[in-house]
Structure 1
Amino acid sequence: MPFFIIAGAVNAAIAVALGAFGAHALKERLSERYLAIWETAVQYQMFHAIGLIAVGILMSTSLFGPSTALSWAGYLLLAGVIIFSGSLYILSLSGIGILGAITPIGGVAFIAGWIMLIIAAVKFGR
């Protein structure tokens, strides 16, 4: 399914752009603490963009093919990027600490997405 390949590629491009933005435009504007939070958001966005691409490739090849578990994996990884990295980007720029309480929801989505990929692999192996 090319949706997850496209979503992954878009997120990878955004991660590169936001990484460069953080390193150049925000370097002098944010404290070290908030710059480190920004960098964490960029790293997790990129890691999971690659995961989205992998899910898309697995779905669009004869290796796994379309499956409900893979679909869930992709959607959960995408939700994780939006919630986890998104909340950290906003936290870095706004300093609103309560946003840190939202971030773990994205982390749980990441973990669930990877677990769904494991389930898809186990089902495929049978």
Structure 2
Amino acid sequence: MSRFFLVAGALVMAAGVAAGAYGAHAAKNAAHPEAVRLLQIAVLYHLVHGLAVVAVGLAARDIASRFLAAAGTLFLAGIVLFCGSLWALAMSGSLPLPTAPVGGLCFIAGWLAFAVGAFRSR
């Protein structure tokens, strides 16, 4: 589990940096009038939660916990749902499904699961 979340977190961070660089240029031609702000928020949450995935990987070296596994999974889901929906909204101007709130709930649940996993560790 530790290796998976360390690798996943590193890849998420690399993608976050690339997304930020791309977004700085793509926002100029984006469909949504608030595209710059939406992409800044998406990249911020992407990078913060990429670090959270790395933290899960590091914690999993010492703590074997299903709560940590759940936290890492929820962080990854939140990145896809929350950040992905902001990207889609910024670039297309509309969203077929409002997935940002679900992604936000994944982030919150991930942090709570992380806390429980850390608290219950020996």
Q: Which amino acid aligns with 1:91?
A: L
Q: Is 1:111 the counterpart of 2:111 in the alignment?
A: no
Q: How far apart, in 1, do the equivalents of 2:33 and 2:7 lie?
A: 33
**Structure 2, unpaired ranges of 5+:** none
Kindly indicate whether the alpha-carbon contact (under 8 Å) linking 2:10 and 2:54 is maintained by their aligned counterparts in 1: yes
Q: Runs (4+) of structure 1 moved beyond 4 Å?
A: none
SS at match of 1:26: helix
SS at match of 1:119: helix
Instruction: Encode CA deviations 1:68-117: one digit per residue, 9 max, x unaligned.
Output: 01000100011000100011111111111454x21010000000000001
Q: How far apart, in 2, do the equivalents of 1:11 and 1:36 lie?
A: 21
TM-align CA RMSD: 1.4
How many Å apart are 1:118 and its aligned residue?
A: 0.6
Q: How far apart, in 1, do the equivalents of 2:83 and 2:95 lie?
A: 15
Q: Which amino acid aligns with 1:71?
A: A
Q: How far apart, in 2, do the equivalents of 1:50 and 1:44 lie?
A: 10
Normalising by structure 2, we get a TM-score of: 0.91
Kindly indicate whether the alpha-carbon contact (under 8 Å) linking 2:27 and 2:35 is maintained by their aligned counterparts in 1: no
How many Å apart are 1:27 and its aligned residue?
A: 4.0
Q: Which amino acid aligns with 1:120?
A: G
Q: Is 1:37 the counterpart of 2:41 in the alignment?
A: no
Kindly indicate whether the alpha-carbon contact (under 8 Å) linking 2:9 and 2:50 is maintained by their aligned counterparts in 1: yes
**Structure 1, unpaired ranges of 5+:** none
Q: Which amino acid aligns with 1:109?
A: C
How many Å apart are 1:32 and its aligned residue?
A: 5.2
Instruction: Encode CA deviations 1:17-37: one digit per residue, 9 max, x unaligned.
Output: 0101111x2242135511110
Q: Is 1:82 the counterpart of 2:80 in the alignment?
A: yes
SS at match of 2:103: helix
Q: How far apart, in 2, do the equivalents of 1:51 and 1:9 lie?
A: 11
- Equivalent of residue 91 in structure 1, options 73, 82, 89: 89
Match of 2:11 in 1: 10
